[in-house]
Chain A
Amino acid sequence: QSVLTQPPSVSGAPGQRVTISCTGSSSNIGAGYDVHWYQQLPGTAPKLLIYSNNNRPSGVPDRFSGYKSGTSASLAITELQAEDEADYYCQSYDSRVQWVFGGGTVLTVL
């Protein structure tokens, strides 16, 4: 069981908006540690999507955005495209166990 909790799957039609939640606790997200998001396309290595809660690395479309509040965070994807179909992981730091990842969310574009 992962320290950070994500929904196993989400889906949406092209053009729609979807969100993926990431729930932690007072020893990680709630302690003020940043949340980061990774996208893993099928058969490839993960790629940094959002860092430090709401920052996009160069080259990541502004359709992707992050939000953090309290002990939770979320990733929003607007104008959903077929190429967004992937696994998404949140990650933070925990004062007890160091690096922590969410269990991952499979995004299906209908």
Chain B
Amino acid sequence: EVHLLESGGGLAQPGGSLRLSCAASGFTFSTYAMSWVRQAPGKGLEWVSAVSGSGSKTYYADSVKGRFTISRDNSKNTLYLQMNSLGVDDTAVFHCAREGVGGHGPHVDYWGQGILVTVSS
């Protein structure tokens, strides 16, 4: 069974940093692209970033480009999101997501429960 467990969230000050982790199990981690998707309180879903299975290719939403860095350690079956220069608009639940295969365009086939990141002074 696929399982994704996020950690590392919490309270950060504006301008501060946080590093999220996502421990994956139940599948061959290195063969799947992974993403982070966030949801601000009471709002909809917003894709944040994606990384290829090997980790060699990374992609970012314009809203986080230059501030966030996605990475993965396939030996530890773990996905990361380093978040710098945080702003209040980054307050959200961050979901770790496995990308499904096939079709024309990416999608999520499994979601983690999510971890809350609150940016406030």
Query: By the criterion CB–CB under 8 Å, are B44 and A45 in contact?
Result: no
What is the chain B residue whose CB lies nearest that of A51? B107
Residues in A with CB closer than 8 Å to B61 are 97-99
Given contacts A91-B107, A98-B61, contact A45 B114 (CB under 8 A): yes
What is the chain A residue whose CB lies nearest that of B109? A48
Query: By the criterion CB–CB under 8 Å, are A51 and B95 in contact?
Result: no
Residues in A with CB closer than 8 Å to B47 are 98-101
Complex CA distance for A44 and B93, rounded to whole angstroms = 11
Residues in A with CB closer than 8 Å to B102 are 52
Closest-CB distance, A85 to chain B (whole angstroms): 17
Complex CA distance for A47 and B62, rounded to whole angstroms = 25
The interface size bin for chain A is 20 to 34
Closest-CB distance, A59 to chain B (whole angstroms): 12
Query: By the criterion CB–CB under 8 Å, are A99 and B111 in contact?
Result: no
Kindly identify, within residues 39 to 77 of chain A, every residue whose CB is under 8 Å from any CB belonging to chain B: 44-48, 51-52, 57
Closest-CB distance, A96 to chain B (whole angstroms): 10
Complex CA distance for A13 and B100, rounded to whole angstroms = 33
Residues in A with CB closer than 8 Å to B109 are 48, 51, 57
Complex CA distance for A74 and B109, rounded to whole angstroms = 19
What is the chain A residue whose CB lies nearest that of B111? A45
Closest-CB distance, A77 to chain B (whole angstroms): 19
Complex CA distance for A2 and B97, rounded to whole angstroms = 20
Confirm or deny: B59 has a beta carbon within 8 angstroms of a beta carbon on chain A.
yes
Confirm or deny: B108 has a beta carbon within 8 angstroms of a beta carbon on chain A.
yes
Query: By the criterion CB–CB under 8 Å, are B59 and A46 in contact?
Result: no
9 closest Cβ pairs, A-B complex? A93-B105, A99-B47, A52-B103, A33-B105, A36-B107, A104-B44, A45-B111, A101-B45, A34-B103
Binding site for B on A (CB under 8 A): 2, 32-34, 36, 38, 44-48, 51-52, 57, 89, 91-93, 97-104
Binding site for A on B (CB under 8 A): 35, 37, 44-47, 50, 59, 61-62, 95, 100, 102-114
Interchain residue pairs with CB less than 8 A apart (8): A34-B104, A36-B108, A44-B113, A45-B95, A47-B111, A48-B109, A51-B107, A52-B104
